[in-house]
Amino acid sequence: MNDETKQENVTEEEVEQTEQTEEVNETSTDQEQSETEELSEVEQLQQENEALQERLARLQADFDNFSRRSKKEREADLKYKSQDLANDLIPVVDNFERALQVDVNDETTESYAEGMKMVYNQLKQALVDHGIEEIESEGAQFDPQKHQAVMQVSEDGYESNQIIEVMQKGYQLKDRVIRPAMVKVNE
């Protein structure tokens, strides 16, 4: 009986060991599963973090571009702030020039013409002070950026595409053409 009792004890011990092994296995499986879940959570959080970092970088770049564009627009507005004034005053200058081309015969009209010439010169100086200048055209080569050809003729003594006559003066504000000069060009 002794042997049988020993066998039963051994069997009970084996059963207990098996149960303990199964418990350990279950515990380790649970731990592995929870570690796997934690790893997948960590990976997911890392991916979300990378996505947010990428989005933040794009937003920062968009903001920088917007700031740069706004600054350029403000600079252009300041640089060309006189354009509206020029557009309003250039026809006045044209009318002054036409008025000053009238022949003066007596003293009264001569003094009147001198006063007009002084006002004209003041007006032209005010335009120059604001960066508005005439486009030099007479005798120059035709430039489609600055000139508008209203007539083409063939005359001796002039090169091809040389401006023969200015029909209406052109004006520019700094480097921007406000009104192109209307010119007669040699063919």
pLDDT for 133 equals: 92
Q: Check whether residue 84 and residue 63 sit in a common domain.
A: no
Q: Give yes or no: residues 10 and 37 share one domain.
A: yes
Amino acid residing at 184: K
Rounded to whole angstroms, the Cα distance separating 100 from 114 reads 9
Instruction: Say what the pLDDT of residue 6 is.
Output: 54
Are 91 and 59 members of one domain?
no
32-78 residue pLDDT tens? 677 777 778 888 999 999 999 999 999 999 999 999 999 998 888 87
Please report the pLDDT score of residue 141 as a whole number.
92
The answer to whether residues 104 and 151 belong to one domain is: yes
The b/e string for 147-162 (b: 16+ C-beta within 10 A; e otherwise) is: bbbeeeeeeeeeeeeb
Question: Same domain for 75 and 86?
Answer: no
The pLDDT-based confidence of 156 (bands split at 50, 70, 90) is: confident
pLDDT in tens, 92-143: 999 999 988 888 888 888 888 899 999 999 999 999 998 899 998 888 999 9
How much is the average pLDDT of 149-154? 91
pLDDT of 81 reads 81
Same domain membership, residue 84 and residue 72: no
pLDDT computed for residue 164 by the predictor: 92
Whether residues 85 and 172 fall in one domain: yes
pLDDT of residue 54: 95
How confident is the model at residue 68, as a pLDDT? 95
**pLDDT at residue 168 is higher than 90:** yes
Which residue segment(s) compose the domain that 26 sits in?
Answer: 1-79
Q: How many CB atoms lie within 10 A of CB 183?
A: 27
**Same domain membership, residue 64 and residue 26:** yes
Q: Where among 36, 58, 79 does a domain terminate? A: 79
Instruction: Please report, for the domain that includes residue 121, its CATH number.
Output: 2.30.22.10
d(CA 164, CA 145): 17
Q: What is the pLDDT of residue 23?
A: 65
